Amino acid sequence: MDLAFTPEEQQFREEVRAWVRANLPEDIAHKVHNALHLTRDDMQRWARILGKKGWLGYGWPKQFGGPGWTAVQKHLFEEETALAGAPRIVPFGPVMVAPVIMAFGSPEQQKRFLPGIASGEVWWSQGYSEPGSGSDLASLKTRAERKGDKYIVNGQKTWTTLAQYGDWIFCLVRTSTEGKPQTGISFLLVDMKSPGVTVRPIIMLDGGHEVNEVFFDNVEVPAENLIGEENKGWTYAKHLLSHERTNIADVNRAKRELERVKRIARNEGVYNDTRFRDEIAKLEVDVVALEMLVLRVLSAEKSGKNPLDIAGLLKIKGSEIQQRYTELMMLAAGPYAAPFVKEAMEAGYQGEYVGAAYIAPLAASYFNMRKTTIYGGSNEVQRNIVAQTVLG
């Protein structure tokens, strides 16, 4: 494994850095660096800027309108945008469903759906988890019954991230009850403006509206919105989940947040405490180790090997690191991190703070990150998968 970047790759990094510096809106970067609330407009504005440049689908091949970058170039792009304070690209369209449409969709579906994803104009949501079907996704019960040239969909999805903004949702639905549970699942694209689709908010501990329940009550979906073959959706879902779990690792955001931990520790006067520095050092070692693991995946991709067997391992370690850096920020701020003023997480807040302004979002971030070891397949389940597929 060669961890040194080539001169061409270093030049590419400089070009990306210069472009991001010139095009990332300062107000958005300020919010990201200080963990303030990002609005739909903030996320969509950055998506459209990237879309206009042709970089929203930064992982796409040229034949589908992407830049055709190598695995290393994609990594460098992610790193430079994260360190600059760009919002994470909302992954459901460009990172998750687009590769499935490219790999398994018909030419007509590719022509219909990919341009709106690439431009950032169409917001996609992910309809996977259900009450009682999270890590055991094969037990899902949302039913799609074929009637002529359409499917009638009934059921419920839950924990649907940012579905309140969704234009379309890609869903796993049950089209057969015969055989093993995995063999009766299909992959369906649903217009969220269809009659019978209801989005109900799930308000979290910090008052945020990030996740939702989505109900389907006799929703009519054209049969042409089925991706690939009926009852083959589990195969397509596994293709997508490998992208999701690599994305969840988010090593580049971890590098940015590690610097934020150090900044808060210095401001709060605990950076020179030996015990606290030990904890920062342990976190930094973990971040570097995760980066090495990601680079191993990239190196395997570069040489044509299949790197996706360790996607679960990336998810496990990345999610644990996210929890750890939010915990260290709380510890650095001490008792000032405990009070919660929801309004202080909005840019332009003029009220009183408990402690410094940068402390206001810490508790909300800490509690929010408790989810990372559960979503995208719980870490306990991921460890079993790694044991079976990697260790044998």
What is residue 305's predicted lDDT score, i.e. its pLDDT?
61
Share of the chain above pLDDT 90, in %: 71
Region 364-389 average pLDDT: 87
Q: Is the pLDDT of residue 299 over 60?
A: yes
**Average pLDDT of 345-363?**
89
Write phi, then psi, for 62 (nearest 5 degrees): -60, -35
Higher pLDDT, residue 327 or 338: 327
5-63 pLDDT per residue, tens: 899 999 999 999 999 999 999 999 999 999 999 999 999 999 999 999 999 999 999 99
Q: Which tens digits make up the pLDDT trace of 64-82?
A: 999 999 888 998 999 999 9
Nearest CA-CA partner of 156 in 167, 172, 176: 172
Higher pLDDT, 196 or 391: 196
Predicted local distance difference test score (pLDDT) of residue 242? 61
The pLDDT, as a whole number, for residue 234 is 93
Portion of the chain with pLDDT greater than 70, in percent: 94
Name the pTM for this structure: 0.90
What pLDDT, on the 0 to 100 scale, is given for residue 1? 53
pLDDT by residue (tens digit) across 250-296?
899 999 999 999 999 999 999 999 999 999 999 999 999 998 888 77
pLDDT one-digit tens code per residue, 226-256: 999 999 999 998 877 665 556 677 899 999 9
What pLDDT is recorded for position 64? 96
- Scan for tokens 């995760």, then name that residue: 290
Instruction: Tell me: pLDDT of 329 over 80.
Output: yes
- pLDDT value for 246: 62
Beta-carbon neighbour count of residue 280 at 10 Å? 19
The closest of 286, 298, 299, 279 to 255, measured between CA atoms, is 286
Whether residue 4 has pLDDT greater than 80: no
